[in-house]
Structure 1
Amino acid sequence: MVLRAGSGALRSPSCRLFAVGRRRRGRTRQGRRPCVQRGACARVRHDGHGRASRCRHARAGHQGVRAHVRARRRSSADGRSPGEGRVRACAVLRDDKRQRGHNRDVGLQARLARHEPDHPSRERRGVPPAVRAREERRRVAGERRRLARRGGGERKDRSMTAILVILNNYFHDVATAVLLSSAVILRVLERQAEQAPEALAALERSYPALTRFARVALVWIVVGGIPRTIFFTRYEWDPAVVKGIVPALLVKHALMAAAVIAGFAMWVRTRKRLMTLVKERDGRT
């Protein structure tokens, strides 16, 4: 004899009467139809040591120990005790609930695999907030990768080319600052030499060192400007477009170009003025 979940063979007459009474009175748990297995599995099960434990369908507290003891005294038609049938019914219900959860998970995974958008009028069921946040981070990361493949975006390039370009740009800006600062220092010394003739000797001693600094800076500006121009779009223009700082980038390069031109012009004028001062001193002597 095969006992099926919900069959009348698993329930005693008192259990069936109790279930019918509950239906007539309309007292159902959470407003739903009464569980068909409540009359069968709400009794107390024994674990073999005389201790009793209730199954998950016995939360209402009906059909106590006496009804269970009376049912255990009767044997079923196939030689098994009613308790075994009740345990089997509870196991069937648990398996059915587990299978429904598995089907729900499989359907969710299939929808995610097909990238089906969720309906706007309902929330995705069964997906914790942490999973949604992880999926959002993956989506944003994918958009950044696609933008980087198209040649733009905030890329985190760790290649040797990127490192060398960044270093070249840094020293290119430093060379521009060195050229301008050396020209300013030379101009200050020249003014002092014009006002005090004894300061001309200090200017002549400082001139060779300042000249070497200026030449190295000028060579680096010319040589380093070639790769900077080649990789300008990839490593400077595209990130500026993504961040929305294109005007700041243009102003920066305009100021740097003006600094290079001003420093070079100041060096030429200062050198000519220094030669004139030296000739005047030699003519006086």
Structure 2
Amino acid sequence: MSRVILSKLNPDEIIHPDDSAVIKKMNRIPGFKSFLKKTIGNLHQAWANVTYTGNGYDITPESNPQVYGQLSEDCRILGLKEIPFLSVAWGYFISSRSVGGDKQRVILSSGAIDLLQPEELDFLLGHEIGHILCGHMPYHMLVETLYTPLFTDNSSVSLIDLIKLPMLEWYRISHYSADRMGLLACQDINVALRTMIKMSGLPKDCYDKIDIDAFVSQGDDFDFNHNNAMDKIVKVFSIISANSPWLVVRSKKLLEWYKSGEYQKIVQRR
């Protein structure tokens, strides 16, 4: 399927409302975003440059033209002018993340390249490009820094502890916005859902018979049948330290946005 270039894409109309509310509040603090980019962001960037150059594999036009070409095309579709650095770190599971201040780097696990079809990898790359376009990066770097040992003290509750949990809750919500960008990159809701199914733990032997409807039903079941008082408490304590929402929840949120008609309006407008 030929994908359209989204030349009129405005991240402000993609971003999840709860994500947008937090971003706007933080952006209103004079100089805060710029300060984070220049300090924490650039520190993470320098760390990533050393770590993944010394103990990873850089994807470049020369080392892997196919995957680098995908990243370039996904950036072109979503309107990110500066292509991030791209590295691969060993791990036979499907994951991705992005770091950086003035210059971003996307990191993929080896499994992401081996286990995903090219169009599924577009969804994953689009997700990370989405974090960059939505303005998440400085605040993501802040959250990740707050959860380093330097800021972890189990002996007492501090002001930093009161900041960390709300920021981590926002960090999880920001994935809803990035998933929308991933969908806009691959431009196929079934591809996006298939990627999430693989990320959720589907055995490789089952890849040729993925049942998207069953996974969607699993999300409905999760909401409907696990909603009593005890289940709600378990859900809270299970997710409280996670850095992203559960995949059945993410897929349900993305499907709701797709069915709302917003996706179609953006793609048809171009």
> Given the two structures, how large is their TM-score scaled by the length of structure 1?
0.19
For the pair shown, the structure with the greater C-alpha radius of gyration is 1
Higher strand share: 2
> Given the two structures, how large is their TM-score scaled by the length of structure 2?
0.20
Higher helix share: 1
